[in-house]
Amino acid sequence: MLKFHLKNLWVYPHARIEGIGPEAGRLRRAPLAAIVIIGLLFALCTYLYGLGSAHILRNGDELVYMQITRVTGTANQWLPLQSDMPDMRNTKPPLLFWQGLLSTDWGAHWSLWALRWPSVMWTFGTALLCGLLGWRLSGRDLFKGALAALFYLAFFTTYRYGRPYLTNPPETFWVFACFFTLLWWRPRSFDSRFVFPTILGVLAGMALLTKSFAQLLPIVAGLAGWHLHVRGWRVGAFLRGSLPGILWTGLLSLAIFSLWFVLDPEPAAIWREFVMGENVGKMGQGGIANWFKEFLWGGDSVWSLGGSWFSNAGLLAFPLLGMMIVSWKRRHTLSDGERLLWIWVFALFLVFSIPSERSGRYLLEGMPALAVLMAMRCRDVGRFAYVLSLSVAMAVLLSTGWVSFLLAREVGVQAFPWWHWPLVVTGAAFAAAAIARPRWTVMGSATAVLSVFLSLAGFLSVFDKPLGVFNSVVAAATAGRVVWVPENFRSVAEQYRFLLPRAVVRGYPAALKMPHADIRGPDDFVVTRRPLDAPAPESAIGSRIHLTSRHTARQIWEMATGSVQKHLFAREWVVAPPGSLPMR
C-alpha cells in the first residue's frame, strides 16, 4: 500500500482543475494566472540583470569570441576574422562575430552589456517558440504554453549559456526553429516537396553559419526520423516522398554555410583551422579501440552524455525524470506531437554519441523539446518531483542568504543590491507556499528556480563594484601603459580590458606568478595574484578581490569542508614598474 502511494506521488496526477464549476474554476485559476504572469516578468528581470557583470555564469570561450570580435573590428572589415592568437582566428563561423560588431557599433560602444544583450534576445526567442508549441500541442492551453517557456528559461544551462556572448543562444534558436516550423504547419509541411524544404534549408543554414557545418548531421537525422514516423516507417514511401526534400534542405544549408569560404579572402585558413582543426579533430582520437573504451568509460562516456540531460535541467531534473518515466509508461498513448519531439531528442543524443568528445553542451538544442514535453505532461507527473525541486531551491536560497550575511559582516550590507535580502526571503517563502498549495506546485517550481538564479546574481554582483574593480588611481596610472595580467585559460586577459579600459593589456601564464623578465618592459605594470590575507607586494598601487576559477578536485573538496575563503577568493595587486613611486 505504501509502495503504491509513493508511486502515485511520483508519476500520477496531483489535484486537477477539471471537474469544478465554471465560477469556482475561474477563482481557482486566478492565482495560477498571476503566478504565470509573475514568472514571465521575473524571468525577464532575471535574464537581463547583471549582463554587464564580469561574474555571471558563463563559459571561458566567451573571452575568446570577444577577442576575435574586438580585433576584427579594429581591422575595420567583416572578413577575414582576426585574433591576437594566430591559431584561434577561425574557431567559429562569422555570424556570431558579425553580431558583436553590430551590437557594439564596431567597438565604439565596447561593453559586456552590448555584447551580451543579443544573446538574451535569442534565448527569449527560443522560449517563445517553446511557449507557442506547448500551447498548440496541448489543445491551445495557455497555462501549458506559458509553462513550456518558463521551464526552458528555468533550465540551468539555458541561464548559463543563454546570456553570455556564445554561439549557443542563436544556434539553439535556429535549430529548434527548423523543427518548430515543420511541426507547426503539419501536415502541409511534411507533404511539401520544395517550399518547406527550402524554408528549413535557410533556417538550418543560419544554424550552420552560427556554429558549424557538423550541425547539419543531427538536423538531417531528426528530419529523417520525423518523416519516417509520419510515413509509418515505410522506407519506400520515405525514399520517394521525403528524401528529395531532405537532401535539398541539406544542400541549401551547406550552400549558405559555404558563403563563408566564398566571401573570405583566406579560405585555406578556414579549411585548416576550422574544418580540420575544430571539427574533424574531434571525431576520433587514438584509434577505434580507444574510441570504444572512451565510449563506455570515463568522463566522455555515453553514460555521462546521457546524464547531461539532467545536469542541463539543473533544479528541474526531478520533474524531467518524472516526465521521462511517465512518457515511457504511457508510450503507447503519446500524442503524435510528443512522439516527434522524442524522436528529435533521441536523434540528437545518438548523433553526438559519435564524436570522441561528448559534452553536455552538444545537447542544448534538445532542451526546448524537453521543456515542451514537460509542460505537456505536467499534470501526469506527481507532486513529489516538483516538491523535490522546490525544496532544493529553498535550501539554495537559504544557503545564499547565509553566505551573503557572512560576507556582509566583512564588507558591509550596502555592498549588496537593496533587493537582494527581500528576494532571498520572498523566494524561500514562495517555494514553501508552492509546496503547501498543490495547485501552485507545478507553476511555482520554475519561478522558484528563477529566484535562485537572480539571488545568485545579486550575491556575485558584490564582486563587481566596489570590491572587484580597480580604483580611479590605478586606472589613471595605467592609462596608455602596458599591463601584464595572469591567465589560467586562453584569452582571460580580455576581461581586464573592461577593468582597465585605457591600458594595453597583455597576458602571462598565471602559474608563473610574474611574467618573465625578458618579455616585460622596464615601464610595464604587472597584476599579480596573492592569497586574500597576504601582505601587499612592494610598489603596489591598488588591488581588487578576485573570484578564482578552474579549481582542482582537491580544492573543491576543501571548499566543501569549510576552506571557502582560502580557495574561492584571492586579491589581485597592480604593481608599478621598478623604481617608480608607489601611489598609495
Contact criterion met (CB below 8 Å) for 148 and 303: no
Distance of alpha carbon 135 from alpha carbon 521, whole angstroms: 63
How high is the pLDDT of residue 348? 96
The candidate with the shortest Cα–Cα distance to 144, out of 335, 343, 401, 377, is: 377
Contact criterion met (CB below 8 Å) for 327 and 338: yes
CA distances from 345 to 184, 204, 305 (A): 17, 17, 13
CA distances from 426 to 37, 44, 316, 430 (A): 17, 18, 20, 6
Cell output for 287: 584509434
Cell output for 218: 543531427
Query: CA Rg, the chain, in Å?
Result: 26
Q: How many C-beta atoms lie closer than 10 Å to residue 188's C-beta? A: 9
Burial letters 314-336, b for 16+ CB under 10 A, else e: bbbbbbbbbbbbbbeeeeeebee
Q: What is the DSSP code (8-state) at residue 513?
A: S
pLDDT digits (tens, 9 = 90+) for 120-178: 999 999 999 999 999 999 999 888 999 999 999 999 999 999 999 999 999 999 999 99
Q: What is the DSSP code (8-state) at residue 537?
A: P
Q: DSSP per residue over 331-358, as a string?
A: GGG--HHHHHHHHHHHHHHHHTTSSS--
| SS3 (DSSP) at 540 | strand
Distance of alpha carbon 437 from alpha carbon 428, whole angstroms: 14
Backbone angles phi, psi at 530, to 5 degrees: -135, 160
Cell output for 580: 617608480
| SS3 (DSSP) at 509 | strand
Residue 514 host element (H or E):
none
Q: DSSP per residue over 284-302, as a string?
A: -SSHHHHHHHHHHSSTTSH
The answer to whether the Cα torsion of 184, 190, 192, 198 is positive or negative is positive
Would you write out the chain's pLDDT as a tens digit for each of its 584 residues? 444 344 444 444 443 433 333 444 444 555 667 777 888 889 999 999 999 998 888 888 899 999 999 999 999 999 999 998 877 889 999 999 999 999 999 999 999 999 999 999 999 999 999 999 999 999 998 889 999 999 999 999 999 999 999 999 999 999 999 999 999 999 999 999 999 999 999 999 999 999 999 999 999 999 999 999 999 999 999 999 999 999 999 999 999 999 999 999 999 999 988 988 888 766 655 567 676 767 777 667 888 889 999 999 999 999 999 999 999 999 999 999 999 999 999 999 999 988 777 888 899 999 999 999 999 999 899 889 999 999 999 999 999 998 888 778 777 788 888 899 999 999 999 999 999 988 889 888 999 999 999 999 998 888 887 788 898 889 999 999 999 999 887 788 898 999 998 999 998 888 887 888 878 888 899 999 888 888 888 888 999 988 776 656 665 665 555 555 565 778 899 999 876 544 44
Contact criterion met (CB below 8 Å) for 211 and 167: yes
Distance of alpha carbon 148 from alpha carbon 131, whole angstroms: 5
Backbone angles phi, psi at 509, to 5 degrees: -60, 130
The Cα diameter of the chain in Å comes to 84
Residue with cell 539555458: 158
How high is the pLDDT of residue 19? 35
Distance of alpha carbon 397 from alpha carbon 38, whole angstroms: 19
Q: How many C-beta atoms lie closer than 10 Å to residue 77's C-beta? A: 12
Residue 206 burial (C-beta neighbours within 10 Å; 0-12, 13-18, 19+):
buried
How high is the pLDDT of residue 531? 84
Distance of alpha carbon 393 from alpha carbon 382, whole angstroms: 18
Q: Where are the beta strands (DSSP E) in 488-524?
A: 504-509
Distance of alpha carbon 52 from alpha carbon 63, whole angstroms: 14
User: Strands 504-509, 482-487: parallel, antiparallel or unpaired by DSSP?
Assistant: parallel
Residue with cell 515542451: 372
Contact criterion met (CB below 8 Å) for 424 and 370: no
pLDDT digits (tens, 9 = 90+) for 319-339: 999 999 999 999 999 999 999
pTM comes to 0.89
Distance of alpha carbon 55 from alpha carbon 459, whole angstroms: 10
Distance of alpha carbon 9 from alpha carbon 515, whole angstroms: 60
The answer to whether the Cα torsion of 206, 208, 210, 215 is positive or negative is positive
How high is the pLDDT of residue 63? 92
How high is the pLDDT of residue 148? 96
Contact criterion met (CB below 8 Å) for 542 and 473: yes
Q: What is the DSSP code (8-state) at residue 563?
A: -
Backbone angles phi, psi at 525, to 5 degrees: -90, 160
Burial letters 364-375, b for 16+ CB under 10 A, else e: bbbbbbbbbbbb
Q: How many C-beta atoms lie closer than 10 Å to residue 476's C-beta? A: 11
Residue with cell 603596489: 540
Distance of alpha carbon 435 from alpha carbon 425, whole angstroms: 16
